[in-house]
């Protein structure tokens, strides 16, 4: 992932309703969900959700597929993972990071 794509994805997630919608799609998994189900689940107006889903799709974080008269939205896990890889590419002084370890705070 390049910097431009990372900025676009992060900008799309930098709004509470879009972040909630994206997280709902991540939880839904590969099966995705319809905007109607998502709007009900998130307690938002379908028209507002449509705007947010469009922004997420434009950033590459979600995709949609027509299934009959419904649209099914899905999280694009490859794009999400590429964003995470971009963000952590040079962490830990270039060594592999153990993200499962608990953070330890030490008083200075």
CATH number attached to the domain at 3-91: 1.10.10.10
pLDDT of the residue at 69: 92
User: Quick one: average pLDDT of 32-52?
Assistant: 94
Residue positions counted in the chain: 108
Q: Rounded to whole angstroms, how far apart are CA atoms 66 and 104?
A: 47
- Partners of 65 in the beta sheet? 72
Instruction: Write the pLDDT tens digit of every residue in 61-108.
Output: 999 999 999 999 999 999 999 999 999 887 777 666 665 554 443 443
Each residue's pLDDT tens digit, 55-69: 999 999 999 999 999
User: Tokens at residue 27, please?
Assistant: 């939880």
Q: Find the mean pLDDT for residues 50-57.
A: 95
Spell out the domain ranges in the chain. Answer: 3-91
C-alpha to C-alpha distance for 2 and 60, rounded to whole angstroms: 13
């Amino acid at each position: 992932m390049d910097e431009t794509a990372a900025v676009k994805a992060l900008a799309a997630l930098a709004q509470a309703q879009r972040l909630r919608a994206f997280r709902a799609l991540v939880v839904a998994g590969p099966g995705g969900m319809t905007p109607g189900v998502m709007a009900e689940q998130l307690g938002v107006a379908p028209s507002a959700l449509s705007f947010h889903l469009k922004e997420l799709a434009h950033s590459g974080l979600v995709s949609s597929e027509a299934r009959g008269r419904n649209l099914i939205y899905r999280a694009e896990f490859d794009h999400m993972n590429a964003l995470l890889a971009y963000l952590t590419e040079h962490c830990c002084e270039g060594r592999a990071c153990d993200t499962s370890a608990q953070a330890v705070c030490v008083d200075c």
